[in-house]
A and B are shown apart, each in its own frame.
Chain A
Amino acid sequence: MFSNQNFLIISAVIPSFAIAFAGFWLGRLDTKRELNQKSISNLVYYFLVPSLIFSSTHKRAFDPSEFSLLFVSAIAMILLMVPVALLLKRRAGVQRNGFILPLIFMNTGNISLPIALLMFGNEGLSKSIIFHLANIFVLYSAGVFLVSGQTDLKQFLKIPALYAMIAGVAAATLPIPEAVKPVLYFAGKLTDILGYGAIPLLIVNLGYSMSDIRLETLKTGIAGGMMRLIGGPLLGIGLVLFWRMIGWTPVDPTLDPLIWLGYRTSEAVIILNASMPGPVMAYLLNLKYDNCPEQAAAMVAVGTLGGIITIPLVLQLITTLIMKVG
């Protein structure tokens, strides 16, 4: 009944939203808020996500140009959103800088990673992880500076995902002695199993967080949330076209098909991540430094809810414009 292309998109989005709904439902049932989200976050960020990152990076060859493309793209996306966010901030008559945090940063973890995996496979997941790392690197440096007037690079250096990435890249690139290979193989299998837990728990956690939202508080976040969802992908597409123009992601049909597909996957990952709503982490920073937490919560919530509609549309755009051969 669905065309192959539509079915691919739906199959990437529906399972994720179904799991998010399970988390939301769990949150609704948990009226006394007995579930400790900090504990779930600890499990995800310190055990499962690093495992997922190692398991997906150590299996594939490391490409420095691909790494720099995604890293620079993430930073460029954040920078491109700054003027838009400042404009909205001025129009809203808000003085404090915390307002722009959920507008310029993207939820590259909870939502983007599972969709990248389901839509573009392990390759998409690995690339999305690079984008994610760049996004949180800027969040913990410039983002923290915006809300508190100080940077928190120490926090970034404490992220286990960073070390998992380094270990994965090292395992994929450095010559491994024969004696160590069985250990590496075992570590790969172990992290495979642990990594399986990351994606469902990331989404369940997001759904659970959403269950806390009261509809009447969403009004203040409509403009910001929608700006993130509409402005993000448009700027993402613009950025991808710019990379093509300067030859960083060539579209030459004479290219080796695998190389061609690799570039297109990178572009797809850039646009997908650019279309993500504001991250929950941005709201948590706003809350920590008491810098516009209500507006931030509303923008993140509106963005996440709106993403149910906009993300499939962006995926449709990606498959039509980017992944199409010829």
Chain B
Amino acid sequence: MGTATVIISSGAIAAQFLSLRMLVTAMIIIVAGALMAKWEGGGQQNTLARLNSQIFIPCLIFAALNRTPLALPEALTMGAGALFFALCSYPLAHWWVARDPEGDQNGFISMLFGSTSTILLPLAYLLFGSQGLAKAAFFHLMNLFLIYTWGRWRAGHPTQLTAFLKTPTLHAVLLALLLKLFELELPGQLQDLLWLVEKGISMMASGALPILLISHGYALYCLRSSGAAWWSGAAFLRMLWLPLVATTLILILRAIGLAPLDKGYDLMHYLDLRTTEAILLLASALPCTISAFWRPGDSPLSKRDSSLLLSSALLSIIAFGLLVFIINRYIFNA
């Protein structure tokens, strides 16, 4: 009995250590991105954002969905989670924008949405593998939809539903779902060719991880060089508030039976549900969205909003560390 306890607890410690190592790895890559921006003098964040949104993120998401079984209720849970986070952030966003001396409404987008593309997707994959990434993909997709529609409208920009419908990420999700739904029985040669194309997409998907993180660091440097301050009290409030929201959401999901704690006969299903909770907690530590502001034609961010973004990105490093500890200790090792 004593030996078993030691083995289990050493396994838990190893998991903590592995997760933290992954987190440190991600942070170093982000710093590399910031250094690259500094060396180049910044200004090319649009190039990276375009590469990510048009090639790397769709490939990453397609590859994850293609090799991971995902139940519809879980996809809906992740989507609903993104909506829940945005709704719960609304009072904070309203307060933030109301206090803006210049009446700039871009703060709505910053406060309401997290940086799902450049941070959540790579971290979900690094920490929880394809299963985590597939769940994060639905969170990201809903986040993207809300930014293009409600977020832009609330910030005083025209909504871009058509642009959302044209996003390669949406197409990648739909294509992966279609392939899964119909389970096409292709002739041998075609099946081989499809496998080869999937192999190419998988290569792109593994390439996406460092490039997403580098582009996050790049954007942070650009924010800093635009005069953003390191500290914003509102970012601190947001960073305290969202994990509480996530915890509430997890408790609600458990209470209404969508994420039961009962291990039952299927341990994989149990782990799957815990991964859903882990992704929701991880998403609560996300910094304010950054890539949403690199769209051509949008007005530049105010110094106040830039400071919010930069500060939230720095605070998120601490939050990720704590939440990863909590996830391993209280969710997977409960």
Contact = CB atoms under 8 A, between A and B. Distances in A.
A1 B188 contact: yes
Contacts of A34: 46-47, 50, 296
B156 interface: no
A35 B47 contact: yes
Nearest to A186: B21
State the majority secondary structure of interface residues on A: helix
A20 to B, nearest CB: 10
Contacts of A48: 210
Interface string B176-211: 000000000000110011001101110110111111
A94 to B, nearest CB: 36
B206 A15 contact: no
A320 to B, nearest CB: 21
A90 B95 CA distance: 76
A200 B46 contact: no
State the majority secondary structure of interface residues on B: helix
Interface in B38-61: 39-40, 44, 46-48, 50-51, 54-56
A14 B203 contact: no
Interface stretch (B24-32, B242-250, B258-266, B269-277): B24-32
Nearest to A7: B192
Contact of A193 (B25, B197, B203): B25
Interface of B: 21, 24-25, 28-29, 32, 36, 39-40, 44, 46-48, 50-51, 54-56, 126, 188-189, 192-193, 196-197, 199-201, 203-204, 206-211, 214, 296
Given A186-B21, A190-B29, A26 B55 contact: yes
Interface in A112-147: 114
A72 interface: no
A115 to B, nearest CB: 12
A42 B36 contact: yes
B49 to A, nearest CB: 10
B193 A14 contact: yes
Interface of A: 1-2, 7, 10-11, 14-16, 18-19, 22-23, 26, 29-30, 34-36, 39-40, 42-43, 46-48, 51, 114, 186, 189-190, 193-194, 196-201, 204
B45 to A, nearest CB: 9
Given A1-B188, A2-B192, A40-B51, A22 B204 contact: yes
Contacts of B209: 193, 196-197
A322 B126 CA distance: 39
Contacts of A11: 196, 199
B203 A197 contact: no
Contacts of A190: 25, 28-29
B36 A15 contact: no
A1 B208 CA distance: 32
Nearest to B196: A14
Given A15-B200, A186-B25, 9 more contacts: A26-B51, A34-B296, A35-B51, A42-B36, A43-B214, A47-B214, A193-B29, A193-B126, A201-B211
B147 to A, nearest CB: 21
